[in-house]
C-alpha cells in the first residue's frame, strides 16, 4: 500500500528505495539530548546520598551513581545502534522466544530474587541487578504484535483475539503480583490493551475488561493492605507526613521550592537525604526544584516530540508488525512519562515508576534505549 501510494505520487523505484534506507537522525538526536540531560540530573540528584551513603554501598564516593549511570548510558547507546541494524523481520521471528525468556526470569524472581524496600523484583548478576519486569514490557509488545499478525482477521473471535493474549497477560501479571510490583502490572495491562485495540479486538471486550478491572481493584484494596494504604496516603499525604505520606510530601515540597525558574542546577535542598529515591523514581521532583517550571516544561516538550516521532514512524511503516511494535513502544514511553510525573505530583497514588532516560537504573535504561533502537530499525524501512 505504501509503495502504491508512492508510485502514484510519481516517485521512481530508485528514489523509493533510497528513502527506505534512511536513518532517523531526528529521533536519534532527541534521545541523545534527553539521555545527556538525564545523566547530568542523576549526578546532581544523587551525589549527596552517594557521599553520605546510609547503606554503606557507595563507600562515600559522591559520583558512584553517576559513574554507573554513565556506563549504562554508553552501553545503552551501543545497544540502541546494534538494535537499529537488525531488520524488523528478526524481531518478529524471535518475539515468542523473547517472551518465554522474560517469563523464565520473572518466575525465578520469587525464589532467588534480591529483596529491597519490601519487594523482591531483581535478580543478582555479579555486582549488578537485573529487573525482569522491564524485559516483560518489551516482550508483551513484540509477542502481541507477532500474534496479531499471525491471527489476522480472527482477532475479533474469543479463541484467537482474546484467550491467547489474556493468558499471556494473566501469567505475567500473576508473577509480578508475587514480587509485588503493581506499577509494572498496571503498565503491562495498559500496553496490552492498546495492542489489542490496534489489533482489531471488538469494543465489547474492552467494556468487559473495564468491569473486570473494577472488580480486580476492589479485591486489591480489600485483601492487599499494601495497596489500600497507598490510596489513603494519596488522598491526604500530609495527614501522615512522617510515615506513609513522607515521600510524597517531600516531593511536593521539592516541586514547590523550584517555582518558575528553579533554584539552579545542583542547588536542590530536598536531595540532602530528605527526599527518598531522589535519583530514581522521584528524580523529576529534583528537576522541578533545580530547573523550575520552565525546565520541566522543556523536558516534557522533548518527551512529547520523541513520542510523536515514534507514532509518526509507526504510521509510515510498510507492514503491520512494524506498525504495531512502533505504536506499542511509543505508547509504553508515553505511559511511563505520564505516570511518573503523575506520581511525583500526587495526581495518582504513589508507586514505583521510573522516568525514561532519567531515573537511575541499568536494566530500565538499557531496555529503553534498546526499544529506541527498534524504532530506528523500523525507520530504515519506512516510506516517507
Q: What are the cell numbers at 324?
A: 504495531
Domain-by-domain residue ranges, the chain? 95-351
Q: Which of 340, 233, 367 is nearest to 277 (CA)?
A: 340
- The reported pLDDT for the residue numbered 110 is 87
CB under 8 Å to 31, separation ≥6 — which residues?
80, 306, 357, 369, 372
pLDDT of residue 23: 82
Going by C-alpha positions, the residue among 126, 115, 62, 137 that lies closest to residue 339 is 137
For the cut 80, the answer to whether the pLDDT of residue 289 exceeds it is yes
User: pTM of the full predicted structure?
Assistant: 0.89
The pLDDT of residue 6 is 41
pLDDT at res. 4: 42
Say whether pLDDT at 377 is over 50. Answer: yes
Q: Is residue 14 pLDDT above 60, yes or no?
A: no
303: cell is: 518527551
Q: What is the pLDDT of residue 182?
A: 82
What's the confidence (pLDDT) of residue 57?
76
In the structure, what pLDDT confidence band is assigned to residue 329 with cuts at 50, 70 and 90? very high
Per-residue pLDDT tens over the stretch 301-315: 999 999 999 999 999
CA–CA separation, 187 and 131 (whole Å): 15
CA nearest neighbour of 21 among 91, 84, 80 = 84
Cite the DSSP H helix spans in the chain: 2-8, 13-20, 25-52, 64-85, 88-93, 95-112, 132-151, 158-161, 163-177, 182-199, 203-223, 225-235, 246-258, 283-315, 320-344, 362-381
Dist CA 260 CA 257 (whole Å) = 9
Write the DSSP string, 106-129.
HHHHHHHPEEETTEEEEEEETTEE
Of 23-37, 221-235, 237-251, 329-343, which gets the smallest average pLDDT? 221-235
Q: 158-186: b or e for each residue (b if 16 or more CB lie within 10 Å)?
A: eebbbeebbebbeebbebbeebbbbbbbb
- Residues forming beta bridges with residue 119, ordered by sequence position: 116
Q: Is 138 exposed, middle or buried (0-12, 13-18, 19+ CB in 10 A)?
A: buried
Amino acid at each position: 500500500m505504501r509503495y502504491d501510494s508512492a508510485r502514484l505520487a510519481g516517485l521512481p523505484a530508485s528514489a523509493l528505495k533510497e528513502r527506505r534506507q534512511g536513518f532517523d537522525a531526528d529521533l536519534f538526536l532527541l534521545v541523545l539530548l534527553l539521555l545527556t540531560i538525564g545523566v547530568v540530573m542523576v549526578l546532581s540528584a544523587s551525589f549527596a546520598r552517594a557521599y553520605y551513603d546510609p547503606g554503606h554501598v557507595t563507600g562515600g564516593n559522591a559520583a558512584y551513581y553517576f559513574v554507573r549511570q554513565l556506563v549504562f548510558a554508553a552501553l545503552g547507546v551501543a545497544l540502541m545502534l546494534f538494535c537499529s541494524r537488525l531488520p524488523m523481520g528478526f524481531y518478529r521471528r524471535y518475539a515468542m522466544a523473547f517472551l518465554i525468556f522474560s517469563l523464565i526470569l520473572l518466575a525465578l524472581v520469587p525464589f532467588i530474587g534480591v529483596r529491597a524496600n519490601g519487594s523482591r523484583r531483581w535478580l543478582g548478576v555479579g555486582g549488578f541487578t537485573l529487573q525482569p519486569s522491564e524485559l516483560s514490557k518489551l516482550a508483551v509488545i513484540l509477542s502481541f504484535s507477532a500474534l496479531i499478525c499471525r491471527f489476522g482477521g480472527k482477532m475479533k473471535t474469543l479463541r484467537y483475539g482474546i484467550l491467547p493474549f489474556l493468558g499471556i497477560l494473566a501469567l505475567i501479571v500473576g508473577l509480578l503480583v508475587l514480587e509485588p510490583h503493581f506499577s509494572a502490572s498496571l503498565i503491562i495491562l495498559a500496553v496490552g490493551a492498546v495492542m489489542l485495540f490496534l489489533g482489531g479486538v471488538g469494543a465489547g471486550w474492552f467494556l468487559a475488561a473495564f468491569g473486570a478491572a473494577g472488580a480486580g481493584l476492589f479485591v486489591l484494596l480489600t485483601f492487599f493492605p499494601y495497596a489500600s494504604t497507598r490510596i489513603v496516603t494519596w488522598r491526604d499525604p500530609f495527614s501522615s507526613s512522617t510515615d506513609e505520606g513522607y515521600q510524597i510530601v517531600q516531593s511536593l515540597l521539592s516541586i514547590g521550592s523550584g517555582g518558575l525558574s528553579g533554584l539552579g542546577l545542583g542547588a536542590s535542598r530536598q536531595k540532602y537525604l530528605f527526599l527518598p529515591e531522589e535519583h530514581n523514581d522521584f528524580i523529576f521532583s529534583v528537576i522541578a526544584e533545580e530547573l523550575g517550571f520552565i525546565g520541566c516544561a522543556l523536558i516534557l516538550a522533548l518527551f512529547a516530540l520523541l513520542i510523536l516521532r515514534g507514532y509518526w514512524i509507526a504510521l509510515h511503516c510498510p507492514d503491520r508488525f512494524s506498525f504495531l511494535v512502533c505504536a506499542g513502544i511509543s505508547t509504553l514511553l508515553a505511559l511511563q512519562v505520564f505516570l511518573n510525573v503523575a506520581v511525583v505530583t500526587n495526581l495518582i497514588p504513589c508507586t514505583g515508576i521510573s522516568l525514561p532516560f532519567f531515573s537511575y537504573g541499568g536494566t530500565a535504561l538499557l531496555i529503553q534505549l534498546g526499544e529506541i533502537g527498534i524504532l530506528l530499525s523500523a525507520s530504515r524501512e519506512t516510506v516517507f
